[in-house]
Amino acid sequence: MLQAGCQLGTSAPLRLDLGGPGEGDGSTPPPPEHRFRRRAIMAPALWSKEEDYSCQYGSPTYLALCGLGGIVSCGLTHTAVVPLDLVKCRMQAEPSRYRSLMQGFSLTVKEEGMRGLAKGWAPTCWGYSMQGLCKFGLYEVFKLRYAELLGPERAYLYRTSLYLAASATAEFFADIALSPMEAVKVRIQTQKGYANTLREAAPKMYQEEGLWAFYKGVTPLWMRQIPYTMMKFACFERTLEALYAHVVPKPRSECTKMEQLGVTFVAGYIAGVFCAVVSHPADSVVSVLNKEKGSSALDILKRLGFRGVWKGLFARILMIGTLTALQWFIYDSVKVYLRMPRPPPPEMPESLKKHSFFN
């Protein structure tokens, strides 16, 4: 028996009393087909029903699992595109030798063999796994906290600003976790003969330059990653909202899990294209800065000039578009696999609907 514990037009949460066996009385749970029919009836309110999920939305367990999803999505995807990233970095650091994407691949294979394309995979895997933990995990934390500070009405009206603020704050800490491994990765990929492995490069860098070698690129990293992440999350959230409102021919609650993941992938790719464009100039500076000793970000920016900082943009769009789409797809898939709550796009609170302006 379904009992609604809220009145129409109020903001009280929906309370569900399903009754039947298996609900706190120690008896045998209902057969799977019964549970399936019961869930299908309640599909619109399913995300807020604690009993159907492995954790409660916003709980410490939920936030920790979001961080785990970030580790899986960022670590796997960035490691998978190491060959493309290697050629892109070399195009930025040595534009006279690596003139195009295909020519860069051919030159790398010719000089170093196929194994040369995998240079820097270990620091990439470690660094971006730690970045993913902080980026996705802390984004969920700050999004919830900022929404609490704003209240439901302002959180809805200014949701784009909320996404931007939450993602920027999360990325600030994520880049501190990423910076050491990013410095090692770029040194391996762009400075030939320096080192071939993480175990070889990291001690050598520390011996030559101290701890500063791992964090001298954190400022340009913030310049690259914070705009990138702000675009990644805000554009994704609003694109997802627009796709369900204007493109997907049926409500989200009626879509299968695979259909929802497909929409997630499309929204992620659209967001990724914008991410690549806004963050590319700073990415060019980071690639050159971590290769050279004693240079500052401002010196490199002046030397590269306007055209120089846009070198390798096509490769970055190809890499970041695919990367961002796969990250969102994997992150959402982890949530589905772990039976985590996946709230639908935000809806206008009832209190705002009553105002004539919004009607």
Residue 21 falls within a domain, yes or no?
Answer: no
pLDDT at 178 over 60: yes
On whether the CB atoms of residues 309 and 286 are closer than 8 A, the answer is no
Residue 147 falls within a domain, yes or no?
Answer: yes
Alpha carbons 317 and 144: distance in angstroms, whole number: 31
pLDDT grade, residue 37 (50/70/90)? very low
pLDDT at 19 over 80: no
Q: Per residue in 164-177, pLDDT tens?
A: 999 999 999 999 99
140 vs 53, residue with greater confidence? 140
> How many structural domains compose the chain?
1
pLDDT at residue number 338:
94
Residue 55 falls within a domain, yes or no?
Answer: no
pLDDT at residue number 268:
94
1 vs 217, residue with greater confidence? 217
Mean pLDDT of 294-312: 75
Mean pLDDT of 341-358: 76
Assign residue 119 the CATH number of its domain.
1.50.40.10
Q: Which amino acid is at 57?
A: Y
For 11-20, 46-55, 180-189, 328-337, which range has the lowest pLDDT when averaged over its residues?
Answer: 11-20
Range of the domain at 331: 60-341
pLDDT at residue number 307:
75
pLDDT at residue number 52:
81
Among residues of the chain, what percentage have pLDDT more than 90?
Answer: 47
Residue 190 falls within a domain, yes or no?
Answer: yes
pLDDT at residue number 34:
45
pLDDT grade, residue 293 (50/70/90)? low
Q: Which residues contact 214 (CB under 8 A, 6 or more apart)?
A: 179, 180, 183, 184, 205, 206
On whether the CB atoms of residues 41 and 49 are closer than 8 A, the answer is no
Q: Per residue in 232-271, pLDDT tens?
A: 999 999 999 999 999 999 988 889 999 999 999 999 999 9
On whether the CB atoms of residues 43 and 344 are closer than 8 A, the answer is no
Element (H, E) at 29: none
Which residue spans within the chain are E strands per DSSP?
Answer: none
Mean pLDDT of 84-110: 87
pLDDT at 150 over 50: yes
pTM of the model: 0.74
pLDDT at residue number 41:
36
Mean pLDDT of 260-288: 86
pLDDT at 281 over 90: no
pLDDT at 144 over 60: yes
pLDDT at residue number 12:
43
Mean pLDDT of 291-307: 72
State the chain's mean pLDDT as an integer: 82
Closest C-alpha to 301, from 315, 280, 318: 280
**6 backbone dihedrals φ, ψ, rounded to 5°:** -140, 155
pLDDT grade, residue 316 (50/70/90)? confident
pLDDT grade, residue 50 (50/70/90)? very low
Alpha carbons 295 and 288: distance in angstroms, whole number: 9
